[in-house]
Amino acid sequence: MFRALNLRRSLQTLLQNHHPHPHPHPPHLKTPPPTPSTTPQSPINTYNLTRSFCSSPSSLSSSPSSSDAELRKYLGYTLLLLGCGVATYYSFPFPENAKHKRAQLFRYAPLPEDLHTVSNWSGTHEVQTRNFLQPESLQELESIVKDANEKKHKIRPVGSGLSPNGIGLARAGMVNLALMDKVLEVDKEKKRVRVQAGIRVQQLVDGIKDYGLTLQNFASIREQQIGGIVQVGAHGTGARLPPIDEQVISMKLVTPAKGTIEVSQEKDPELFYLARCGLGGLGVVAEVTLQCVERQELVEHTVVSNMKDIKKNHRKFLSENKHVKYLYIPYTDTVVLVRCNPVSKWKGAPKFTPKYSEDEAMQHVRELYVESLKKYRGQVIAVKSPNDNEPDINELSFTELRDKLLALDPLNKDHVIKVNQAEAEFWRKSEGYRVGWSDEILGFDCGGQQWVSEICFPAGTLSKPSMKDLEYIEELTQVIEKEGIPAPAPIEQRWTARSRSSMSPASSSREDDIFSWVGIIMYLPTMDARQRRQITEEFFHYRHVTQTQLWDQYSAYEHWAKVEVPKDKEELSALQARLRKRFPVDAYNKARKELDPNQILSNNMLEKLFPLSDTI
């Protein structure tokens, strides 16, 4: 109120100085205070705004009383406008958990009932659409595709939304096969299974285990729909095992131009190998026939090593183990070696008593969290946080606690190094054996929401590895340290055999070729929009330096579920040219034109990466 009173007096003094015959108020008459307002005062310069009104020729020639009235009028309008803005800001219907997003007005307004919000698992990509279709049968799917093609309405195939880049999302419309999730046929003798494409990996594994069958390899997560995991060229690990698309022996595609077609190596090999990793652009995958293997128990052996020992034994690790992966901890010399082999190879499950309990393995991480809370928040906790909404830290898994640690200061390199060192200690105390079925053992707790970039590049042959895979890691480590990147752990490295699918990043005509897959990561451990944006910017810097300094040198190409489309035109043009060097883009586009001439299955990503000649 005092600020408003002083402002009023200053304005009156200014007006009096503009008039040749000022009429000051008698000293016994006080200027009335402004009308009380419950809205906070805005920092906007109201003085200058009002002055611009009062300095016009008309106001200079008016009487003092009329000038004062004009002043009050414009000042009232200004205060009314500001008051409405502030009232809107503080009364807008935000979700309770979105108070930090108040600055983004209208974005979080209630959505129309028919508007579907679809986001990927990492929360890095999101679209709203009124056209989200979920057929329950092949006939219904065929009708949907036919109708969309006639009306030229987009219905991009989308699976479980696990792809970090949101490859299946499209604002114009999507079709999801979550309700088409049945096991249709099991041939126990040939070890083959025919399923609807909407079935999730874990559902499939559970559905065929009573037949003594399972998939020969798995990605880290079990929630993918089979149609999606095949179409993007997903993979597990094992230098003798190909990516998951190689398990497909036939597919039923619902295409806009040719209806439902079945493709296989026998019926149409060229289209089959193209469509098997077709990125959802050649047809909606409705059914898949997979080659399975006998269900078996595996022994997982986890040890902590270092780069010197890894280099010495690398060839042996690749050739002697069915599944193998390395987890590198940045800013340390720690390499976590994880090997999995059938129990039969061990002549029974190994008898092993772990040196440390789970609590002892977690002890260092918990201590760091308590210490970091005290440093960043001045908060001291013994076991349980004083906030009742916070869980007991003893109940948190390692990945959950890592997320909480990183959330305290995710872009502070020194803090991230401490977290990485705690992770290295956790793995050192977690060495040992684990026995279980392959679908239980081969999974990996990837942590919470995250940005990921994963590349694939040739690593020689199984009989003669090139060692380029380890050279890549050494150079990547140097780049991270030189750039001072706050890189969290792990950097994950896996291997696969080649794929015959022409659009697979591991495609090759040579049977003995092996490929290495390397993933870098930055977690999004907070829902604060500003902090997530800063982490995103740092991640793309991290990805950019690895791309410019390493990818061409190692003939590395990104996993289709992790490619991000550049916004810069020159960068996009360079990416298009790179893809043409590696993949049969012309053949792929030709098939798109034949099977989907109206591009109803396409989205912005496909149109940017593989522009058709008539849309350039």
pLDDT digits (tens, 9 = 90+) for 397-428: 999 999 999 999 999 999 999 999 999 999 99
pLDDT at residue 30 in the model: 37
Give the integer Cα–Cα distance in Å for 37 and 80: 10
Q: Which of the pair, 517 or 5, is modelled with greater confidence?
A: 517
pLDDT at residue 123 in the model: 84
pLDDT category at 251 given cuts 50, 70, 90 is very high
Phi, psi of 326 (to 5 degrees): -115, 140
Check if the beta carbon of residue 263 is closer than 8 Å to that of residue 272.
yes
pLDDT category at 86 given cuts 50, 70, 90 is low
Q: Mean pLDDT score of the chain, rounded to an integer? A: 85
103-129: average pLDDT: 71
pLDDT at residue 390 in the model: 67
pLDDT at residue 595 in the model: 98
Region for 106 from its dihedrals, namely left if φ exceeds 0, alpha if ψ lies in -120 to 50, beta otherwise: left
pLDDT category at 79 given cuts 50, 70, 90 is confident
Query: Is it the case that residue 109 has pLDDT exceeding 50?
Result: no
What does R_g of the chain's alpha carbons equal in angstroms? 31
Cα-based angle 126, 129, 133 (whole degrees, multiple of 5):
110
Instruction: Please tell me which of 51-55, 224-228, 358-362, 504-508 the model is most confident about, judged by mean pLDDT.
Output: 504-508
Q: Among the listed ranges 7-21, 362-376, 534-548, which one has the minimum average pLDDT value?
A: 7-21
pLDDT category at 388 given cuts 50, 70, 90 is low
Q: Where are the alpha helices (DSSP H) in 260-346?
A: 269-275, 307-320, 343-346
pLDDT at residue 75 in the model: 77
Instruction: Report CA torsion sign: 288, 512, 558, 337.
Output: positive
Query: Is it the case that residue 503 has pLDDT exceeding 90?
Result: yes
Query: Is it the case that residue 511 has pLDDT exceeding 70?
Result: yes
Burial letters 316-333, b for 16+ CB under 10 A, else e: ebbeebbbbbbbbbbbee
CA neighbours within 13 Å on the CB side: how many for 42?
Answer: 16
Q: Where are the alpha helices (DSSP H) in 429-568?
A: 438-441, 468-483, 529-546, 552-554
Give the integer Cα–Cα distance in Å for 154 and 139: 19
Q: How far is CA 129 from CA 154, 155, 398, in A?
A: 11, 11, 37
Which residues have a Cβ under 8 Å from the Cβ of 275 and sit 6 or more positions away? 251, 253, 263, 282, 283, 591
Phi, psi of 218 (to 5 degrees): -140, 150
438-449: average pLDDT: 84
pLDDT category at 38 given cuts 50, 70, 90 is very low
Chain centroid to CA 420: 21
146-174: average pLDDT: 94
Q: Which of the pair, 17 or 231, is modelled with greater confidence?
A: 231
Q: How far is CA 54 from CA 50, 83, 461, 528, in A?
A: 6, 22, 82, 44
pLDDT at residue 105 in the model: 37
Query: Is it the case that residue 27 has pLDDT exceeding 80?
Result: no
422-449: average pLDDT: 90
What whole-number percentage of the chain has pLDDT above 90? 69
The first and second tokens of residue 46, run together, are 């109201």
Quote the crossing angle between the two packed helices 358-377 and 398-408, to the nearest 10°: 20
Partner residues linked to 556 by β-bridges:
none
Query: Is it the case that residue 439 has pLDDT exceeding 90?
Result: no
pLDDT category at 29 given cuts 50, 70, 90 is very low
pLDDT category at 69 given cuts 50, 70, 90 is confident
262-271: average pLDDT: 95
Element (H, E) at 116: strand 116-119
Q: Which of the pair, 224 or 285, is modelled with greater confidence?
A: 285
11-20: average pLDDT: 46
Give the integer Cα–Cα distance in Å for 297 and 340: 10
Q: Which of the pair, 281 or 69, is modelled with greater confidence?
A: 281
Tell me the pTM.
0.80
Query: Is it the case that residue 1 has pLDDT exceeding 50?
Result: no
Check if the beta carbon of residue 272 is closer than 8 Å to that of residue 251.
yes
Query: Is it the case that residue 14 has pLDDT exceeding 70?
Result: no
Query: Is it the case that residue 214 has pLDDT exceeding 60?
Result: yes
Residues 531-581: tens digit of each pLDDT: 999 999 999 999 999 999 999 999 999 999 999 999 999 999 999 999 999
